[in-house]
């Protein structure tokens, strides 16, 4: 099992029509997001405009976790107001018009990949065991608050950790202070045993 800290300074931040997006990791690592030839991409987006249109991603599926804000999404199947901590999943080619500002984590996956999200809380000094009960390939961790230690390396608020899930026992997360973080489990479609990814926009 291997883990790597991704510092916030390493995120690749670019502008999009509604604000900024920070690519945290893409697989394979030499893939170019613009060429749409990747397996999955994990990023953080900040919506700064009061109105914005989600970029269409034909052939991909998306899972979004809301960090902050209360944006309202308008799409073909209706309207949905997002709240902090909410997870939604949707087809990447869906037309979505967003009203309101916010910050979210975004996992984009091709047709052969799927994912699942869990939010974790740990008191100072608590140790959490992240088991590979879903047969995932890897786990992307984003730290919402506090600081945690994995494999002897400390990561802080807004930083990320990527861990391979090649052993069923998983890995330990040591909370060096009261912490909240989000785990995105990622793996091959048809192999992983994930629950529903979150509210599905139809």
57-93 CB burial, b ≥16 within 10 A, e <16: beebbbbbbbbebebebebeeeebebeeeebbbbbbe
pLDDT over 80 (residue 51)? yes
User: Taking the chain, what is the end-to-end CA distance rounded to the nearest angstrom?
Assistant: 37
How far apart, in Å, are the Cα atoms of 50 and each of 46, 85, 99, 162?
Answer: 12, 20, 6, 32
Phi, psi of 114 (to 5 degrees): -140, 165
Give the span between the Cα atoms of 20 and 75, in whole angstroms. Answer: 22
**pLDDT tens, position by position, 13-30:** 998 878 999 999 999 999
> What residues contact 183, with CB distance under 8 A and at least 6 apart?
117, 118, 119, 120, 130, 139, 140, 141
Percent of the chain, pLDDT > 90?
84
Whole-structure pTM value: 0.94
- Look at residues 186, 174, 196 and name the one whose alpha carbon lies nearest to residue 24: 186
- What is the arithmetic mean of pLDDT over 149-156? 94
Residue 202 has a pLDDT of 57
Could you tell me where the DSSP H helices lie in 71-196?
none
Residue 176 has a pLDDT of 98
């Amino acid at each position: 099992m291997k883990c790597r800290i991704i510092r916030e300074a390493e995120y690749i931040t670019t502008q999009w029509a509604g604000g900024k997006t920070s690519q945290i990791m893409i697989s394979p690592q030499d893939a170019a997001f613009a060429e749409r030839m990747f397996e999955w991409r994990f990023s953080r987006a900040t919506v700064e405009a009061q109105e914005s249109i989600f970029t269409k991603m034909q052939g991909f599926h998306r899972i979004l976790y809301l960090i902050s804000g209360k944006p309202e999404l308008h799409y073909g199947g209706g309207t949905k107001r997002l709240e902090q901590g909410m997870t939604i999943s949707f087809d990447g080619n869906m037309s979505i018009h967003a009203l309101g500002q916010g910050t979210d984590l975004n996992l984009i996956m091709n047709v052969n990949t799927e994912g699942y999200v869990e939010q974790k809380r740990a008191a100072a000094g608590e140790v959490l065991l992240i088991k590979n009960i879903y047969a995932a390939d890897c786990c992307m961790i984003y730290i919402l608050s506090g600081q945690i230690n994995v494999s002897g390396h400390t990561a802080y608020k807004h930083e990320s950790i990527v861990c391979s899930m090649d052993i069923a026992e998983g890995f330990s997360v040591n909370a060096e202070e009261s912490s909240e973080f989000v785990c995105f489990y990622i793996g091959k479609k048809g192999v992983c045993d994930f629950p529903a990814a979150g509210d599905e926009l139809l």
